[in-house]
Amino acid sequence: MEKKERMPELDYVRALAMLGVVAIHVTGAFVYQDSAHTLGGMNLAFFLNQIVRFAVPAFMVLSGLALGFGEVRSCGRFWKTRFVKLLPPYLVWSLLYWGFYHRFQSWEGVGGALLWGTSSAHLYFIIITLQFYLFYPLLRRLTDRWPLQTLLAAVAVSLVCQQYIFYAGTGFLPGGLPLWELLPTWVGYFVLGMALHRWNLSKLCRWCGRSLPFLAVLSALSAAVYAYESRLTGSLDSLKWQLFFYTPLIVLLCLGLGNRWKGRERLDRAVSFLAKRSQTIFFCHVLLLECLRKVGVFNGGRKAMLLTFLALLPLSILCAWAIDGLLGAGRRALKRG
């Protein structure tokens, strides 16, 4: 298979997913606070926290989709490239988070934390991504040979695992299986992305651009229904079958926005800048958030939540820009040497 041309529309998906991840962690501390203004029994934090739950699944779709734009390589070359790119920063950030939370005084249990991505709550996503890279060659062969059947089977496996986790949490089923951190729980999103890169993405993006009002209305309705269902059930995490409908809608909406807006030079540069630094923003934003929460002005009600987001986002972008710049300079210096 030939290497496909990179599509700027995907940057819009990645940038929005990154903003969604930041919003999830900012609003998490405020979802149960009393508020004089509610919608359907939900305060603003609760509503925002739920409507951005597409963010992590969208990143998983992108992970599967992005691999279709690379050259087909042997398993060894593929694993070397991907693991070398992701594993070192994961280990560094995991150790940093472990030291931060334990005040650099105890390292007992750090091995298990590295294995399961529990040094910080958001790092499980990296563990799942590493598992996906491990099994990607097999999934690629299955998807190339039986695309629809593989996608349906992957979604079915994910739904079964997610329902098990839900009912185990209620006590209806026995718990103990660490399915949250394992690939089967999320494989449906990855394979969806792998299936997408088999299509004519340029044609799909043009359709999304033409259908943007319809996709916007449908996405807004899906977001409202998803948030209200969370309010009724009291289930706030991202392990819900409804996300298999909501997440693709948001992805299509972003593709439509990208198709409509691409060509605006300043906007394209800004979105590309955010998309390229999304991984480092993902790693660093929780640490910066923990530091902000030690300041009184970032604790309290709705104003504190909004202020936290407005402070955290530029800080995370600036931190990611500095880190990526230093790492890039270091790599260039090594090549010259």
Taking only the tens place, the pLDDT of each residue in 15-25 is 999 999 999 99
Pair of tokens at residue 227:
């948030």
**Over the chain, what is the mean pLDDT?**
89
The verdict on residue 292 lying in a domain is: yes
- Residue 2 resides in a domain: no
**pLDDT score recorded for residue 71:** 61
Q: Check: CB of residue 46 under 8 Å from CB of residue 31.
A: yes
d(CA 220, CA 175): 35
Residue 285 has pLDDT above 50, yes or no: yes
What's the pTM? 0.92
Which of residues 336 and 227 earns the better pLDDT score? 227
- Residue 104 inside a domain? The answer is yes
CA-to-CA distance for 230 and 200, rounded, in angstroms?
35
What percent of the chain stands above pLDDT 70?
Answer: 96
Establish if 209 belongs to a structural domain: yes
Task: Report how far residue 224's alpha carbon sits from residue 247's, in angstroms, rounded to the nearest whole number.
Answer: 13
Does the pLDDT of residue 255 top 90, yes or no? Answer: yes
Q: Which domain holds residue 184?
A: 9-336
Domain-located, residue 204? yes
Query: What is the domain count for the chain?
Result: 1
Mean pLDDT for 290-306 is: 91
Is 245 a domain residue?
A: yes
Please write down the long-range contacts of 276-279, taking CB distance under 8 Å and 24 or more positions apart: 276/324, 277/317, 277/320, 277/321, 277/324, 278/14, 278/15, 278/17, 278/18, 279/89
- How high is the pLDDT of residue 248? 94
Average pLDDT of the segment spanning 48-60: 95
Rounded to the nearest angstrom, the gap between the alpha carbon of residue 282 and the centroid of all alpha carbons in its chain is 8
Sign of CA dihedral 245, 181, 281, 235: positive
In-domain check, residue 1? no
Whether pLDDT at 68 is above 80: no
Instruction: With respect to residue 4, please indicate whether it lies within any of the assigned structural domains.
Output: no
Residue 103 — left, alpha, or beta (φ > 0 → left; ψ -120 to 50 → alpha)?
left
Q: What does the pLDDT read at residue 1?
A: 39
Percent of the chain with pLDDT over 90: 62
pLDDT in tens, 161-204: 988 888 887 777 777 777 888 999 999 999 999 888 777 788 88
